[in-house]
Amino acid sequence: MTRISMRSVSKYFDGGDTVANYKLDMEVDDGEFVVFLGPSGCGKTTALRMIAGLEDLSEGEIYFDDERVDGMPPADRNVAMVFQNYALYPHMTVRENIEYPLKVRGVPPEERDERVAQVAELLHIEDQMDSDPGEISGGQRQRTSLARAIVREPSVFLLDEPLSNLDAKLRLEMRSELKRIQNELGITTVYVTHNQEEAMSMGDKIVVLNDGTIRQVADPEELYERPRTTWVAKFIGSPPMNLFEGENRDGTVRLAEGNSLPMPAETSSQTVSVGVRPEDIDVSTEAPDTDWTVPGTVKTVEPLGEYVLVNVEVGGSVVNVKVPKTEAEAGDPVHLTFDPTDAYLYDEDGELVA
Amino acid sequence: MSVGSYLEDRLDRDLDGEKLTAILVFMLPGLTLFAIFSVGPMLYSAVGSFFTWDGFTIGQFAGFETWIAAFQDDAIINWDNLLAFQYPMGALPQNIIWMVVHVPLSTLLGLGLALLFADLRGRSVLRSMVFLAFTTPTVVIGLVLLFVYDPQAGIFNGLLRSIGLEGMVRNWVQEPQIAIYALVAGGVWVQTGFSMLLYSSALAGIDPALLESARVDGAGRFRRFKDIIWPLVKPVTAVVVIMSMIWVIRIFAIVYAAGGPSGGPGGVFSVLGLEVYQAAFSVPIEYSKAMVVALIELVIALPMAWYIASMD
């Protein structure tokens, strides 16, 4: 199978005026499921298209194992790609669509039939084989386009937001289905999405991109537990991490709200920020008997069943708190507390200190 | 299936008398215009072709006399020359030959240019230049062709001289066996712009992801064209082919401008339209012959118009 390496890959458009990707350096191990995650316009799709060979590189090199592939046409890279809108050939039946890559590559008809039947079974679309793509449901179209990608037994499997056109229920179903198929086949996979839930649930490794550059490469737990910059911290999690501005006073953190936190500030930078996940904060209407709290006013309370989301205004910005239940109501003055060991300290450049 | 049950199948079951009245009332203005300006004249000439005419006054019933005369008229079909494939063959065969040469050429050229311009910078300028010919009055095209093929000043003969083919230089529109092809080339020039425009918009309507997907699937340039582009522009091809067939069957001004009412020396590039004009407007006026030739044109064009109109 195949290991993908990108070595300082950059992509410029409009003669260098637009930078889509800047110096991407990363590895995808053999059989690994890697997710490119980032907001729209962050360059994740361009990066995927460069791996596919649909986009030329401006700088850098891409290797599949030890073979340099940039400059090779997509057909010679043995990659398969699933497009956001599925890109099924509208004038061919489901069977002809799945068969097409085999036909182009001159696979003999008997073998073709066999392999098409196999993937059809794997993806549960045996009953739709003679329908036109226009006649089947979104989920079945998705399965067809997956089947067309898988049937060739590619060495690299590329997926560009494949679930974004499906409704919520189908998306969940296809998510586990995709993961199952990838596990079963063990194909090196790169998956592009802006949906962090998808990324966290499917990826062995997540590559967070913003403004065309890689912000962090980590597995899902690490990404959640140790976001390396304030940007990643604010991007991951729903709602994302809260950041409190503070100052470094001789090795301890003093929040802008006037409280000293019992946590060490092992950094030389003067201004710092303290990040706390919404589920790690407690909210109470009465002053707790700790030596510090963060005072605020409740803006809204959103009871979501599983938990209650309390939005508290603290010094002009909103802090999201996730609690099992609360007595606080909109307008109440409240006190926020958290265990300093759950907090992350970022220096003035937004880099994680501890 | 009887007509009754067929109609029952086709008619909406909810159609009650009131609705039917409303539908008829709304259709009345359109149907009236259609009857006066389309169906009426067709019936008039269909009936008129079976009568003798004295000028514009209808005479006696003549049966198929005019029809038989038309098919024996050398200007319409010159049977001897037709069998020997020698021009002039008469307006009907010449018109059909024009069609057979013109339609595939203009269709393929249009598709070729549309494909060529699809990803090119400045494509809108190039497209406009090619399409310009279609917007030019066809009389002007005929005159331009006279200039282009002029033995002294013509650009085509100039080109032949410059590549050392002095011997080929001649007045192309006066050569009996070649003249029609020289004019067909002009017609192709005009129609290519039209088919290119239709193909361009059809190509723009193809989802680029389909072609990218085919590239990833391993299809080269030719296979992408054959397997993806060609099937997807097929409906447009039908429109382009039939529209140019209809355009050729109606052709008149280019021929008139290039060769006068006779259609070139001995009528070597005369077409049906020209014969209608001759019969109806030059002395002696043969009104019934004009009707017969016009009906022949109509019989050829009508099924094509029907096909285009009934396309989904």
Q: What is the CATH number of the domain that holds A92?
A: 3.40.50.300
Size of interface A-B (CB pairs under 8 A): 58
* Tens-place pLDDT, residues B85-102: 888 888 899 999 999 999
Q: What is the pLDDT along chain A (354 residues), one digit of tens a residue?
A: 689 999 989 999 887 788 888 888 999 999 999 999 999 888 899 999 999 999 999 999 999 998 999 889 988 888 999 998 999 999 999 999 999 999 999 999 999 999 999 999 888 889 999 999 999 988 899 899 999 998 988 999 999 998 888 888 888 888 888 888 888 888 999 999 998 888 999 999 999 999 888 999 999 999 988 899 989 988 888 888 998 888 887 777 888 776 777 777 777 778 888 889 999 998 888 877 777 888 888 999 998 888 899 999 888 888 999 988 888 888 888 888 888 888 888 888 888 886
What's the rounded Cα separation, in Å, for the pair A244 and A343? 10
Strand pairing partners for A322? A309
Amino acid of residue A330: A
Amino acid of residue B4: G
Check: CB of residue A156 under 8 Å from CB of residue A79: yes
pLDDT at res. B161 = 87
Contact map slice: B 213-242 vs A, CB within 8 A: 213-220, 223, 227-228, 231-232
Tell me the mean pLDDT in the region B100-115.
94
Tell me whether residues B207 and A85 touch, CB distance under 8 A.
yes
Domain span holding position B216: 72-309
- Residue A157 and residue A175 in one domain: yes
What's the rounded Cα separation, in Å, for the pair A97 and A140? 13
Q: For chain A, give the number of residues.
A: 354
Tell me whether residues B217 and A101 touch, CB distance under 8 A.
yes
Tell me whether residues B218 and A105 touch, CB distance under 8 A.
yes
Output the 3-class SS for chain B.
Answer: CCHHHHHHHHCCCCCCHHHHHHHHHHHHHHHHHHHHHHHHHHHHHHHHCCEEEECCEEEEECCCHHHHHHHHCCCCCCHHHHHHCCCCCCHHHHHHHHHHHHHHHHHHHHHHHHHHHHCCCCHHHHHHHHHHHHHCCHHHHHHHHHHHHCCCCCHHHHHHHHCCCHHHCCCHHHCCCCHHHHHHHHHHHHHHHHHHHHHHHHHHCCCHHHHHHHHHHCCCHHHHHHHHHHHHHHHHHHHHHHHHHHHHHCCCHHHHHHHCCCCCHHHCCCCHHHHHHHHHHCCCCCHHHHHHHHHHHHHHHHHHHHHHHCCC
Domains held by chain A: number: 2
pLDDT at res. B307 = 84
What's the rounded Cα separation, in Å, for the pair B73 and B91? 10
* Tens-place pLDDT, residues B166-212: 878 888 888 888 889 989 998 999 999 999 999 999 999 999 999 99
Element (H, E) at A252: strand A252-255
Tell me the mean pLDDT in the region B12-41.
86
pLDDT at res. B2 = 58
Give chain A's end-to-end CA distance (angstroms, integer).
38
- Residue B18 and residue B92 in one domain: no
CA distances from A100 to A54, A95, A144, B306 (A): 19, 8, 12, 36
- Residue B56 and residue B131 in one domain: no
Beta strands A294-303 and B57-61, pairing class: unpaired
Element (H, E) at A283: strand A281-284
- Residue A17 and residue A157 in one domain: yes
Asked whether residue A351 is assigned to any structural domain, the reply reads no
pLDDT band, very low/low/confident/very high, at B14 (cuts 50, 70, 90):
low
Q: Is B219 exposed, middle or buried (0-12, 13-18, 19+ CB in 10 A)?
A: buried
Q: Which of A46, A89, A141 would best serve as a mutation to test chain B binding (most B beta carbons within 10 A)?
A: A89
Tell me whether residues B215 and A85 touch, CB distance under 8 A.
no
Helix B40-48 with B287-309: angle, nearest 10 deg:
140
For residue B236, give how far its alpha carbon lies from the nearest alpha carbon of chain A (Å).
14
* Tens-place pLDDT, residues B39-56: 998 888 888 888 888 777
Two structure tokens written together for B308 = 């285009």
Beta strands A33-37 and A188-193, pairing class: parallel
* Tens-place pLDDT, residues B231-246: 999 999 999 999 999 8
Put the strands of the sheet holding A344-346 in their side by side order: A260-264, A252-255, A242-249, A271-276, A344-346
Is the per-residue pLDDT at B3 higher than 60? no
Q: Residue B17: phi, psi to the nearest 5?
A: -60, -40
Torsion sign over Cα B137, B139, B140, B141: positive
Q: What CATH number does the domain containing A253 carry?
A: 2.40.50.140
State which of A233, A263, A295 marks the end of a domain: A233
State which of A202, A233, A264 marks the end of a domain: A233
What's the rounded Cα separation, in Å, for the pair A114 and A109? 9
Name the residue in chain A with its Cα closest to that of B228: A89
Q: How far is CA A57 from the centre of its chain?
A: 23
State which of B20, B40, B69 marks the end of a domain: B69
Percent of chain B with pLDDT over 90: 29
Tell me the mean pLDDT in the region B252-256.
90
* Tens-place pLDDT, residues B269-292: 889 999 889 888 887 888 888 888
Element (H, E) at A26: strand A18-28
Q: Does A54 touch chain B (CB under 8 A)?
A: yes
pLDDT band, very low/low/confident/very high, at B4 (cuts 50, 70, 90):
low
Tell me the mean pLDDT in the region B141-164.
87
- Residue A168 and residue A296 in one domain: no
Domains held by chain B: number: 2
pLDDT at res. B1 = 46
pLDDT band, very low/low/confident/very high, at B5 (cuts 50, 70, 90):
low
Q: What CATH number does the domain containing B241 carry?
A: 1.10.3720.10
For residue B241, what are the contacts with CB-CB under 8 A and spacing of at least 6? B103, B107
- Residue B277 and residue B130 in one domain: yes
Is the per-residue pLDDT at B70 higher than 90? no
- Residue B207 and residue B237 in one domain: yes
For residue B200, what are the contacts with CB-CB under 8 A and spacing of at least 6? B114, B117, B118, B127
Instruction: Name the DSSP class of A54.
Output: S
Tell me whether residues A87 and B227 touch, CB distance under 8 A.
no
Tell me whether residues B215 and A74 touch, CB distance under 8 A.
yes
Asked whether residue A194 is assigned to any structural domain, the reply reads yes
- Residue B105 and residue B55 in one domain: no
- Residue A37 and residue A19 in one domain: yes
Residue at token pair 């699809």: B118
Name the residue in chain B with its Cα closest to that of A98: B217
Two structure tokens written together for B157 = 């003969």
- Residue A204 and residue A263 in one domain: no
Put the strands of the sheet holding A294-303 in their side by side order: A281-284, A333-338, A294-303, A308-314, A317-323
Annotate B167-178 with b (16+ C-beta within 10 A) or e (fewer).
eebeebbebeeb
Asked whether residue A60 is assigned to any structural domain, the reply reads yes
Tell me whether residues B216 and A81 touch, CB distance under 8 A.
yes
- Residue A318 and residue A214 in one domain: no
Q: How far is CA A161 from the centre of its chain?
A: 10
- Residue B187 and residue B226 in one domain: yes
Domain span holding position A301: 240-346
What's the rounded Cα separation, in Å, for the pair B267 and A99? 57
State which of A201, A233, A265 marks the end of a domain: A233
Is the per-residue pLDDT at B107 higher than 50? yes
* SS3 of residue A306 by DSSP: coil
Asked whether residue A158 is assigned to any structural domain, the reply reads yes
Which among A52, A54, A91 has the least Cβ separation from residue B232? A91
